Structure 1
Amino acid sequence: MTVPTTPPLAQVAQQASRRAPGPAALSAFVADLAAVLPPDRYTTSPAARVAASRDYAHLSPLLAAVLPEHPADVVARPGTTDELAALLRLAHTHGVPVVPRGRGTGNYGQAVPLAGGLVVDLTRADRILEVGDGWIHAQAGATFVALEAAARATGQEIAMLPSTVGSTIGGFLAGGAGGLGSIEHGWLWDGFVHALDVLGCPPREPRRVTGAACLPYLHAYGVTGVIATATVALSPARDWTALQASFPDWASAVAAGRELLHLAPAPRLVSLDEPALVATYPPDPAMPAGRHSLRAVVDTRTVDAAMRAVTGHGGHVEAVTPEAVGYLSTLSFNHVTLRARKTRPDLCHLQVGGEPLTADPDAVRACLPGAMLHLDGLRTFLDPADPPRGRGFGGLLLSEFRDADTLYLGVERLRALGVHVIDPHTWLLGGPALPAVRSAASAVDPDGLLNPGKLPPEPSA
């Protein structure tokens, strides 16, 4: 069978660990921190170091098995771009690796240090700097809760946001991809990011990049520089409400979901689950047992049309409640894996897309033991080099985890069916943007101190 990741992650982790600072370098670095930050904004406390060295990689049984027990040596919390630059300058002077961190809500080990060193916790740098017509400019540590509130105060809203709304803008840009609003507005690299201020190692003046020049810094885990501030897209504010419906079969739920995707104005979210997956969630009268669940966050002006789409495809409207908008976001995207594994810790997940998810779901499920499908509406392209292909569904395939061979044999079968699979069980960067990421990383981080071990080794000649 085809091996999933070359070289193996354990080997990559071992190689990265060689970048760990020696005792003398680390001691000198800590001693010099007093000239950079007040003493209450950096720590070598064991508990703080461990807490800042974890994210949601435990959702993957493969990652959980190979992530090293090598927490950060120091955690620092800068509040300004100048303080961030001073930290990076000091780290470069002493050869200390640097891992940038938001809220640690990523799922791939993005914020897990593989060589110890310094974790830069950016949550203190949380100011909203300016709001304009169609954009908002904020420090990297600003949360989406704060961003949305600031945008709403001007009659606007964030064009696209993660299902974990407590995440920071910097963390999302460095480690995320899409979320609520992706049906209409696409992905991170689809014009959502207007500008970034990025610091390398060693830092010079903050590097201001705009438009397409932002792409190498998105979903790059900080290897191309630490995002200090970001300017991202806003759209006119809408009045949203939550709709929950149920269906007797998958085909009917999918047909109704497709109709919802093309409402005007577009929904912010459309999600579908089959009954076996619904059974892993806490009981909810609006998700009756034994039925397929469709959930949507729709513009209030389209509620009647949405309800007609549900009933027209044989479904039943279970609830229409504005108060449930936030709740429905926690039943979307990879939040589903988090919820399902609380009930079924034997589960693992794959990120999947493609027509077979809706056209031949039984064949898709047959690829892995006990497989269950979750779908989210989105702009159906994942490659920034591809043109938009309209609105459709991608999602998750959750299955029993037996061993890596079973999982990756299932991946081969899925790809043979025409399913697009993104492997969530690796921390290595990849995809069509990888050459540009490598180029940017070598320019801003010539000594390889930014999040070492996250770029795959260069292929052999």
Structure 2
Amino acid sequence: MTAPVVAVATDEGRPDFGPDDVDALADDLLAILGPRGVTSLPRALDRAARDGSGMSPILSAQDLGTPDLVCYPRTADVVPDIVRAAVARGVPITTRGKGTGNYGQVIPRFGGLVLDMTSLTEIQSVTERSVTAQAGARMINLEQAAWGRDSQLWMYPSTVQSTLGGFLGGGSAGTGTIVHGRNHQGFVDALDVVYATQDAEIVHLDGDDAQPFVHTYGVAGIIVSASVRVEPLQQWRCVYASFGSQREAFDAAFDLAAIEPKPRLLSADGAVVTAALPDDPALVRGRASVRGIVDARALDEATDLLVASGGRIEAVREGIAETVKLSTLSYNHPTWWLQKAQPGRWFHMEVRGDALVHRLEEVEQVYEGGMLHLEVGHQMMFGMLNGIYRNPAQVIDGVAALEELGVGVHSPHQWYVDLDADRVHALAQRTDPRGLLNPGRWM
């Protein structure tokens, strides 16, 4: 399914339910969860109507929806009870973690029930192959548990406070992507999922059977718990280097991608974006920045390459707290910091391809004020191209120019399922026959 770069939310796919159905469901949930397990208080509804889509001026201008109820399961076994009650009343269900995603995927398009999974935080086991945890467990806690067993996650998101279920349901990348690619390509060993059916139960899925439920925005099933891959712990070093020019920094990052073992993370920014990042002596104002989480075995090679490329090593740090800190300066975060420094001014497009380095100046000229944040990804450069926001038409107009330069473009200004949507839609028709799971996600 091909979708436009910028989409406007419509009422297509709205379930047929009303206030009486919501009131009846509220009574059902009180019986299941008790008075502290369900709410319609305005503050709770407002919180459940927000996520990271505020990064997009296009999404921020749209009314993406507000729930009628929010519920908070504290044990996994009540999730099927909640789902059966909602299905019986015909009320839509939107599953939510920490709401750190940037695409409006956890905002309930047509109201209904928001199922907040953040109380389901148990880490159930860590083995040599995988860590198993409930959907509300935070990714940083999974990483810490793995480190305690001399292992590490295959990947964890730059927003380390995101939940396991939210990361798998909405995420498509992570800090480990240089080696392993996106998280729907081998990260998940098993899932426990609840379908939106009248006889809903927890369904256990292993291996290939679990993969179709990853990165579906919760439209095909509710992830209750998951087993995700770990690997032997590497001794990581966090390297910060500064450069006199953005060109030098980006060229160095491109070359650094070839070292072995591969870095876990590799980011680069010009001086303007670097200046918007949190204060740190390793982020030198007025200079471009290259930051990497590098295997200790490759540290000498990496620092020698950075210096030979015109860089200056500003810091080398170690420990899980430092790797987490550096990861929060990657992916969408530099754009967020730029927007925070100059509110209402910037938008971004997600872009990919070696042209981001080889044709950097041309890429940045596509949008007014263009500044590129660069990530080294799995077999490809990718990043966030920031520009001064004028209107949606301006965003769309730049896409053709970028593609002519050999740049792939993905829009962060959308709220619909955008990865293999036809397959996901076919799956959802089987697991959610009434279209009650996070409806309104199709173009």
| Length-normalised TM-score, structure 2 | 0.95
1:125 aligns with 2:120: yes
Q: Secondary structure at the match of 1:163?
A: coil
Contact 2:5 2:413 in 1 (8 A): no
Which of 287, 295, 298 is equivalent to 2:294? Answer: 298
Deviation at 1:20, TM superposition (A): 6.3
Superposed CA RMSD: 1.8
Contact 1:223 1:455 in 2 (8 A): no
Deviation at 1:247, TM superposition (A): 1.7
Query: What is aligned with 1:331?
Result: 329
Contact 1:3 1:408 in 2 (8 A): no
1:172 aligns with 2:167: yes
Which of 376, 390, 397 is equivalent to 1:402? Answer: 390
Deviation at 1:421, TM superposition (A): 0.4
Q: Which amino acid aligns with 2:114?
A: V
Which of 409, 414, 435 is equivalent to 1:426? Answer: 414
1:437 aligns with 2:413: no
Deviation at 1:169, TM superposition (A): 0.5
Could you tell me how far apart the structure 1 residues matched to 2:74 and 2:3 are? 43
Matches within 5 A, 1:193-272: 193-202=188-197, 203-272=199-268
Could you tell me how far apart the structure 2 residues matched to 1:393 and 1:180 are? 14
1:277 aligns with 2:264: no
1:343 aligns with 2:330: no
Instruction: Count residues with an aligned counterpart.
Output: 438
The gaps in structure 1 that reach 5 residues or longer are 380-390, 457-461
Matches within 5 A, 1:443-454: 443-454=430-441
Could you tell me how far apart the structure 1 residues matched to 2:213 and 2:89 are? 25
Comparing 237-246 with 439-448, greater Cα deviation is found at 237-246
Matches within 5 A, 1:75-86: 75-86=70-81
Contact 1:20 1:115 in 2 (8 A): no
Contact 1:201 1:444 in 2 (8 A): yes
Could you tell me how far apart the structure 2 residues matched to 1:206 and 1:325 are? 35
Deviation at 1:282, TM superposition (A): 3.5
Query: What is aligned with 1:58?
Result: 54
Query: What is aligned with 1:387?
Result: none
1:414 aligns with 2:402: yes
Contact 1:352 1:396 in 2 (8 A): yes
Query: What is aligned with 1:385?
Result: none
Contact 2:52 2:103 in 1 (8 A): yes
Comparing 46-55 with 98-107, greater Cα deviation is found at 46-55
Could you tell me how far apart the structure 2 residues matched to 1:413 and 1:67 are? 30
Could you tell me how far apart the structure 1 residues matched to 2:267 and 2:435 are? 40
The gaps in structure 2 that reach 5 residues or longer are none
Deviation at 1:337, TM superposition (A): 1.8
Change (3 A) 1:153 1:325: closer
Could you tell me how far apart the structure 1 residues matched to 2:226 and 2:279 are? 39
Q: Which amino acid aligns with 1:356?
A: A
Which of 311, 315, 334 is equivalent to 1:315? Answer: 311
Could you tell me how far apart the structure 2 residues matched to 1:374 and 1:214 are? 33
| Length-normalised TM-score, structure 1 | 0.91
Deviation at 1:5, TM superposition (A): 5.2
